Structure 1
């Protein structure tokens, strides 16, 4: 009996991506309007920017790990 291994379709979680972009937009808004106008500290701006970049890198690392796993389905002569 011959078996074939086919990769299943990988799905992207749209809600996680939307949440990520909403956090990115909110932090950009916060950084532009509050920090540049009220606090004129360069070090605080760099800290917030590095935190934002760190969150993005952690999210994309988790995203790549979850989507790099190969999910396989076994198809034989009788079907799935």
Structure 2
């Protein structure tokens, strides 16, 4: 695996999503696994698919950096 990234919404209606992502990223850190993790201010669908949203400004650039096609 070349890279791993995750993000989650601080104001997710299901608090278990927030806690599980926080725990997951702490576990990765404890294991020494390099990763990117971000808790963003908003709801799960807040500015995700707009032109200036998370998919275009965060997800696609991340994939562009780490995906390798052989």
Give the structure-2-normalised TM-score.
0.36
Q: Which has the higher strand share?
A: 2
Work out which of the two has the higher radius of gyration on C-alpha atoms and give 1 or 2: 1
Give the structure-1-normalised TM-score.
0.32
